[in-house]
Structure 1
Amino acid sequence: MTKNGCCGPGYASPKEAMQAEREKLLYTVALYVGTGVEKPDYLATVDVDPDSPTYSSVVARTEMPGIGDELHHSGWNACSSCHDDASKSRRYLLMPGVRTSNINVIDTADPTNPKLHTVVSGDEIKAKTNLSAPHTVHCLGSDIIISMLGDADGNGPGGFLHLDENFNIVGRWENELNGMKYNYDFWYQPRHNMMVSSEWAAPNTFMPGFDLDDVAAGKYGQSVHFWDFKARKVAKSVDLGAEGMIPLEVRGLHDPESNHGYFAATLSSNVFHWWKDDAGEPQLEKVIDIPTIDVAGFPVPMPSLITDILISMDDRYIYFANWLHGDLRQYDITDRSNPKLTGQVWLGGLLGKAPEVNGVTVQGAPQMIQLSLDGKRLYVTTSLFSTWDNQFYPGMKDKGAQMFMIDCDTERGGMTINPDFLVDFGNEPNGPARCHEMRYPGGDVTSDIWM
């Protein structure tokens, strides 16, 4: 978005996006890693048009060229940072494989029938950059940067991969990591020369599954990093200690004038608010704390495990998923420092509060979420990561994961599970599959950074 509030060809302003026609399709990562099915992961195109005869079903499946990618997150080749370039469009969806480090590029020129365009080889990425395990994809003007979670051998700290608009490897994006131990998600605020990144763990730690002893040994992150965006280096790191163990998804407000945002510390089950003060110094405060719960047979008081978080396009509501407890929450963040709980629903989880929803036994719990541009529909999937799924929700391996839709009240707040929408990936043609991150053709609230 430009400083006068105008966007260039093909890109709506935040207000226009909220008034856009209802979405018709939703792209969803689907995978067979860890299920015993020897088939490639794929992009599932889901019909989300209630007037369509194929509503709430998978209408196309775009297979990756190899087996074992573990598709996880994805992102567009173009976004609002291309607002002044009429030649750019959101045509290509980049789908990295965390395990292979391959980056599969999907052509969505025909949105109902996406096709594989090219693959950026994981072996080439490792050889040229000493990076592996791609995660978050963000457009950056005409180019693309991707957070990488490890080095070529699967150790920390990782870094950032830089691709040009034709998906050629430019090299590493960052100039300095300045002591950063791990990497995960990031969000940039160009008007404020600011980027914020978070930490999971080295691939060699998280890929085999979760081991509580690894937390005590310092093998999981507990810091966030504030970057000098122009200089491409960490300017300040904040160790969050026990209150901020495993900070994952980072979300800035959509208003390009704002320097505020939020992230969730997954294992500590806390939400933090970040901003820059009048002197330009990054600030942090904990604003939401989900209590642990004693559960018979669980080795420690059970954290909620906040695994995904997003902010509505109008910057009024924040949503997040508690993958162990099994609930989705909506908070009003009009007062940035004092979020107010306005909605909550239960889906699966280990507390036994909603084991069955819409006629199906939920495998897993709310994990990845995606909000419609008008803020009225929240889509949710139940798989986190193959080895973690098999550890905490072993039934998913043989029964597959699910996608649900939550109706959201954007005026007064509130959430209800839509009774007419269900995509059960347990019924896929090649066998039960997992489903993870979701993207809208044309852009969505978790990928657009307004200029």
Structure 2
Amino acid sequence: MAHQCCGPGYVSPQAAMTAEREKLLYTIALYTGTGIQEPDYLATIDNDPASPTYSQVIDRLPMPYIGDELHHFGWNACSSCHEDASKSRRFLVIPGIRSSRIYIIDTADSKAPKIHKIIEPAEIKAKTNLTAPHTVHCLATSQIMVSMLGDAEGNAPGGFLLLDENFDIAGRWEQQPNAIEYNYDFWYQPRHNVMVSSEWAAPKTFYPGFDLNDVAAGNYGQHLHFWDWEQRKVIQSVDLGAEGLIPLEVRFHHNPDSTHGYVGAALSSNIWHWDRDNGDWQVSKVIDVPAVELAGWDFPVPSLITDLLISMDDRYLYFSNWLHGDIRQYDISNPTQPKLVGQVWCGGLLGKGGQIKGQKLSGGPQMLQLSLDGKRLYVTSSLFSTWDNQFYPDLNQTGSYMLQIDCDLDKGGLSINEDFYIDFGSEPKGAARAHEMRYPGGDCTSDIWI
């Protein structure tokens, strides 16, 4: 039985889309690392062009602790649960990657969410020996799975935490605790009995900031892992080598029949495509973004691909180049031969970012979220507190931005919408930094069809 919260299975974005589902937008906003001694918070954005408070923060839910570093977050239910009409996309699961605390947020009042439960780091460490929660995905079993980037001491490889439907710790997902060297993002596709995971580094390595010596020492990941979903074991690991350093966000096609997917290697600044052929997973590089010589840098500046997503109809791939400052749109109708069809500049170190409403865009484009109909791409500019402070120290004073990018779906093309701009530098308690975004009705980076 189909129902609104979890969706009717895989359908076209036009069939699934309703304007009501996109009148709000949630984002986490940070004070961690800014010097302002205030807790991070969940910001609710009015996303209804007909509203008098359009493009404004209409609610702020502060966490009770300082220094969590809220980062990525997800829903308790998504389209993977479409056969269970009792499930609803009501609770946000918001981890603190630095504190290892997990907040469960009740959005029954969508305009004023409340804290429902807090899972303390001491409990997580005691029951799983894991820390540094990152990606959150709901499962068809009613469980919630969270990638964890470190052990209790902040060392790699981390693992995968399971929460039950009551948000109690159910243990670890993986059957091979040391099968991977590092952990980061993941995406599963039960129809093909597979999960794909990527690698960042141990929390002890990336918490203090980025040190190029750690790359030379092998302290950052360069592997893509394919897991047997049912057996919870790694069946194939692909070493991307020097051309695939720090593979971060992973995305399957939304169509559950497809075995195509992509990962962005941040430091190497390229996109890799995967597909299954005769039972084995094949991975190949399909996009390269050249590094750029820049005054004051001892080496060519990489674009640093830090986020990517795929439109709901699997036609377009979008990714952000955080250091260079551009967002790119590729037509992936032919998955192995992406075609660049759109580009827009939003800050960055190359000086091409320009202004909006008279203000310079500080930082570079980072987290992305796309409307279900594929027409509106949202972007924020903060990556990670210590990395922000290294590469964009001005963010401490200016705060970050949230922009809406209009997408041409016929010929391709991207443009900044001047009517939507949220300046997190003017928040009531001082300049804040916005990171990941979620729609109450589900979005392109949380829904998995089975």
Partner of 2:388, secondary structure, is helix
AA in 1 matched with 2:384: F
Tell me, in whole angstroms, the C-alpha distance in 2 between the residues paired with 1:317 and 1:297. Answer: 36
The AA in structure 2 aligned to 1:257 is: D
> 4+ runs of 1 displaced by more than 6 Å?
none
Indicate whether 1:114 and 2:113 are aligned. yes
Pair 1:235–1:177, CA change in 2 (3 A): farther
1:21 equivalenced with 2:24 (yes/no): no
Q: Is the 8 A contact 2:9 2:82 kept in 1?
A: no
- Measured after TM superposition, the shift of residue 337 of structure 1 is 0.5
Show the counterpart of 1:367. 366
Contact 2:214 2:220 in 1 (8 A): yes
- Matched AA of 2:387: W
Q: Distance in 1 between matches of 2:374 and 2:13?
A: 10
Deviation digits for residues 170-226 of structure 1, max 9, x if unmatched?
Answer: 111100145311000000010000110000000000010000000000000000100
Q: 1:7 deviation in Å?
A: 4.2
Whether the aligned pair in 2 keeps the contact of 1:349 and 1:355 (CA below 8 Å) is no
Query: Which string of whole-angstrom CA distances, capped at 9 and with x for unpartnered residues, describes residues 306-341 of structure 1?
Result: 000000000000000000000000000000100000
- 1:190 aligns with 190
- Residue 165 of structure 1 corresponds to 165
What is the percent sequence identity of the aligned residues?
66
Q: Quote the residue 1:72 is aligned against.
A: 71
CA distance in 1, matches of 2:127, 2:443: 32
Q: Which residue of 1 aligns with 2:244?
A: 244
SS in 2 for 1:226: strand
Q: Which AA in structure 1 matches 2:291?
A: T
Report the AA paired with residue 423 of structure 2.
D
The residue type equivalent to 1:374 in the other structure is D
Mapped to 2, the partners of 1:68 and 1:178 lie a distance apart of 29
Kept in 1: contact 2:12–2:313 (CA 8 A): no
Contact kept in structure 2, 1:209 and 1:391, CA below 8 Å: yes
Q: Does structure 2 retain, via aligned residues, the 8 Å contact 1:9–1:85?
A: no
Following the alignment from structure 1 to structure 2, what is the Cα–Cα distance between the partners of residues 184 and 236? 17
Residue in structure 2 matched with residue 218 of structure 1 by the alignment: 218
Partner of 1:255: 255
Aligned equivalent of 1:176: 176
What is the SS of the residue equivalent to 2:297?
A: coil
Quick one: which amino acid aligns to residue 170 of structure 2?
Answer: V
Q: Could you tell which deviates more after superposition, 149-158 or 7-16? A: 7-16
Report the counterpart of residue 284 of structure 2 in structure 1. Answer: 285
CA deviations 1:246-286 (Å, max 9, x no partner) are 00000000001111110100000010111111x21111111
CA contact under 8 A between 1:104 and 1:116: conserved in structure 2? yes
Shift of 1:445: 0.5
TM-score, normalised relative to structure 1: 0.97
Distance 1:84 1:197 in 2: 26
**1:223, 1:185 → 2: CA distance?**
12
Segments of structure 1 that go 5 or more residues without pairing to the other structure are 1-5
Counterpart amino acid of residue 18 in structure 1: Q
State the alpha-carbon separation in 2 of the partners of residues 234 and 212 from structure 1.
Answer: 29
Q: After alignment, is 169-178 or 144-153 more displaced? A: 169-178
- The answer to whether the 8 A contact 2:80-2:449 is kept is yes
- CA deviations over 1:134-180 (Å, ceiling 9, x no partner): 00000012101100000000000000001101000011110014531
Aligned to 1:3: none
Q: How does 1:33-432 map to 2 (within 5 A)?
A: 33-141=32-140, 142-177=142-177, 179-277=179-277, 279-432=278-431
CA–CA distance in structure 2, aligned partners of residues 289 and 7 of structure 1: 41
1:21-46 deviation per Cα after TM superposition (whole angstroms, max 9, x unaligned) = 23101000101001111111100000
8 Å contact kept, 1:247–1:265: yes
Counterpart Cα distance in 2 of 1:177 and 1:401: 37
Aligned mates of 2:236, 2:38 — CA distance in 1: 44
| Cα RMSD (Å) | 1.1
Shift of 1:410: 1.1
